[in-house]
A and B are shown apart, each in its own frame.
Chain A
Amino acid sequence: MSERTGVLPSTGASEWNWRSVKLVSLLVYLSMLIPLAVVVINSFNPQRIAGFPPESLSLKWYAAFMEDELFINAVWVSVKVGVATALLCGFVGTVTAMGFVRKRFPLQNTLVIALLTPMLVPPVIIGVASTIFFVEVGWERSIWWIVTMHVLISLPYAFLIVRSRLYLFDDTLEDAAMTLGADRITTFREVTFPIIAPSIVTAMVLAFVISFGEFTATQFWVTRETTTVPVVIYSMVRTLITPKVNVLATLVLVVTIAIPVLGLVGQRYLAGNR
């Protein structure tokens, strides 16, 4: 690539600049990855008060973790909430994105902003406002508070993902299918859905991930029985750091990385099947 030096004689400044860009980038990566690495390594540290680096490694806290009902229950609750959120949000997000792309209606641009507002309101305020609202209308606190609100919080992301796919979509394909006699349902099932399916999968994976990690608003909605993983981690860290938190965090790291990766593989598969 001789373009790098360009037509004018290179002053060498370009190389030097690029090197400093690389150096800053490296520092940013280190700051993002080292804290996570320390958590993972310390989850194998048998010491109760974990120094770093650990003097020896063991699976002691993993064994203790497996017997801790509070933790196991929280994982179970988070998975249930995440799956319910993903399914609901995938449905609501897809339908809404189709409506916004296919239809023209008054105030459309303002209503898009309204739909994206959950991204802008601080989660503490979402938590406070919804709790007052639910209590006032007399809806009893349960896991459904969390699911309902997690759908609200992840909806903007799901909407944006599916919408960007629909923008690229050639809708004469739908016209063609209907001209050839397919009804709307068949058209959707045979033409529209297969094309937008990968983006729906992406949206659902993201909804799960957002739900699984949300803490700040969720702390207002949990009960003793419906404590989620981030809430358990936060309260453990606030009170006494038990080394089991590192185990939970490590497992969460593995899961949160594995699920989107599996999702992407699934998405590729759906895309490849076309």
Chain B
Amino acid sequence: MSSIDTAESVVPEQVTDVKERLMENRRVRFLLSPGLGLLWTFVFLFLPLTIIVAFSFFEPGEAGSIVYEFTLANYQRFVEASVYQDIIVKSFRIGLTSTLIILPLGYTLGYFLGRSKSRWTPILLGLVVVQFWVPLVIRTYAWITLMGRKGPINEALLAVGVVGEPIKLLYTTHGMLIGLVVSILPFMVLPVYSAVSTIDEEVIQAAKTLGASDARAFWEVTLPLSWPGIVSGILFSFILSAGAFIAPTLLGGPEDRLIAPVIATIFTQDFNWPFAAALSIVYVLLIGAMLYLFNRKADLEEALEGTSL
């Protein structure tokens, strides 16, 4: 009882005290608040992107130097030489293709993990999460031995009799797609898993009780309710495979010149920084436009959150 009395007598003073302290610390709190992360992002991402906009209007000089004079030549080159437009189209096509493969495979595994009641499920889920932890370079180059002419894949296909002679997988578009799809699959599996696992079993059961077949209950209840996960998976699948660098260069063939390796080559081997900047800007603007449309139909922030658990 006595402790309550003292507490009551103390409270009024303390409250004003707290308010004062809050006011005092306002400036400190602003610095130690959203400002820090935003500052980092603006200085090290948005400022560089702005600077390369300027660079894309400069002229490449001799031996990698830059002539700081305004020119439209880099964009003219992009418009006139259709090869660079083709490369961007090809990158988007690869992005689309791999997304279309990842969607059913990733959804199935995500659905399995979300619905399975086995006690092994946490471990199986862990095996998917582990994929994020293993460097992409390792997960991609690991296919080289497997895909070789005398590699295990060909030997298995020959043994089963699916093919008569070894097929060429390594350094082809198909090889690259396999590497891409498998490395990006976890980005579909995890958001679908978290969406499916939160669906109340009774909702599905109710649909069936009301006469829906298994298929109809799936298409009209489960699938719409797992939509947020699917949207997140599609976003990452497309962005990551269209902008991929490692799979096209390690597993793809000479015809698989996608945008990311091309920009890198122009930058590091031709030393043509202004043209690399111009291509980057064109690509970023195209992706930005797509994301703008995406954000009008779906919640971009929610989609980006999808893989964070």
Q: What is A's interface to B at a CB cutoff of 8 Å?
A: 1, 3, 6-8, 11, 13-14, 17, 21-22, 24-25, 27-29, 31-36, 38-39, 42, 50-53, 92-93, 95-100, 102-103, 105, 108-109, 111-133, 136, 148-149, 151-152, 155-157, 159-161, 164, 178-181, 183-184, 209, 212-216, 219-220, 229-230, 233-234, 237-238, 241, 245, 249, 252-253, 256-257, 260
Contact = CB atoms under 8 A, between A and B. Distances in A.
Given A114-B41, A214-B135, A216-B136, 8 more contacts: A6-B209, A114-B46, A117-B41, A118-B45, A128-B267, A181-B10, A215-B135, A219-B264
Contact of A164 (B14, B263, B308): B308
A241 B151 CA distance: 15
Q: Classify chain B's interface size.
A: 35 or more
A112 B37 CA distance: 10
B35 to A, nearest CB: 7
Q: Is the interface of A mostly helix, strand, loop or mixed?
A: helix
Contacts of B34: 96, 99-100, 103, 105, 108, 111
Contacts of B47: 133
B142 A230 contact: no
Contacts of B305: 160, 164
A3 B204 CA distance: 11
Interface of B: 10-11, 14-15, 17-18, 21-22, 25, 32-38, 40-42, 44-49, 51-52, 55, 104-106, 108-109, 111-113, 115, 117, 124, 127-128, 130-139, 141-146, 150-152, 178, 182, 185-186, 189, 201, 205, 208-209, 211, 213-215, 239, 242-243, 245-246, 249-250, 259-261, 263-264, 267-268, 273, 276-277, 280, 283-284, 287, 291, 295, 300-301, 304-305, 308-309
A233 B214 contact: no
Contacts of A178: 14, 18, 21
Q: Is the interface of B mostly helix, strand, loop or mixed?
A: helix
Contacts of A52: 145-146, 151-152
Nearest to B55: A132
Contact of B137 (A93, A149, A181, A230): A230
A21 B108 contact: yes
A229 B33 contact: no
> Which of A50, A118, A160 has the largest number of chain B CB atoms within 10 A?
A160
Contacts of A157: 308
B37 to A, nearest CB: 3
B161 to A, nearest CB: 19
A6 B217 CA distance: 12
A31 B182 contact: yes
A13 to B, nearest CB: 5
